[in-house]
Amino acid sequence: MTPENVTGPVARHAEGPVWWPGWGGLRWVDGEAGDLLTLRADGVTRQHIDDEYLAFARPRTNGGLVAVGARTLYLADDVDGETRAVATLHEDPRVRMNDGCCDPRGRLLAGSMAYDAAPDGGFVLRLDAEHAVSTVLPRATISNGIGFSPDGRRAYYVDTATHRIDVFDVAEGELRGRRAFVSIPEEQGSPDGLTVAADGSVWVALWGGSAVHGYDATGALVQTIELPVPQVSACTFGGDDLGTLYITTSAQGLPDDHGTEAGSVFAVQPGVRGLPVTLFAG
């Protein structure tokens, strides 16, 4: 199957795609620009949120959105409204937040990394509805995709430097028993953002691998979606039936004359459907 380019190269570093009907469909970030992008019928719109970096955004249960900047948590009371800073997540200028999601209880999970990708320079935080912060993983190198199985009993996690997707058991809301789910050879690229489908399959973007891999619930590779760009950053299911896989790509670090469609969002129908996004309870 051949993915369709649905945006053209509108971003330098497209990341963190999320589909939610309440905010008009597909949104994603242009990380280094600090912008939240929305795909609308008449094109792509931008909203600037964070001056230094924008890691990801999610809708809120009581309306509006939550966004994670380099070190700051932002809230908006309307999906298209102005954001305000409400909490400092950390104060280390060498570290920025990266990918994340909401767990089945509506708590925000947010990973991080050192700007120079120093080993164990990052961590994974959890924020509850009152914005209280706790540490889930004290050490990570390049914290990326996080997602939960349809029954909420398993959590999948990527620290890109490990070249693995790991899996945890979820017990009383806590992540336990970390172990390898899938190991990805270096020649296939580095695992980045991921999403979980309604059938329990796990779909991961391969940075440097020009592809998305789909693995069934046992960890067997069941599908490879090839992209015409090297740096594939993340993916999510969307569309009215959640049957379309939207895939973000990045031109980060590429020369100006790279001659590819990097920075575009692509779409493909892989034959499975996704899960509705979990909203932030705060």
The C-alpha atoms of residue 260 and residue 31 are separated, in whole angstroms, by 19
Residue 192 known to be catalytic: yes
| Structure-token match 């945890």, residue found | 168
The HSE-up count of residue 67 (CA atoms within 13 Å, CB side) is 35
Contacting residues for 132 by C-beta, under 8 A, at least 6 apart? none
Q: What are phi and psi of 120, to 5 degrees?
A: 60, 25
Query: In angstroms, what CA-CA distances link 36 with 31, 140, 199?
Result: 8, 25, 29
Catalytic residue of the set 192, 199, 216, 241:
192
Q: Is 72 helix (H, G, I), strand (E, B) or coil?
A: strand
| 3-class SS shares of the chain: helix, strand, coil, % to 5 | 5, 55, 40
Residues annotated as catalytic are 192
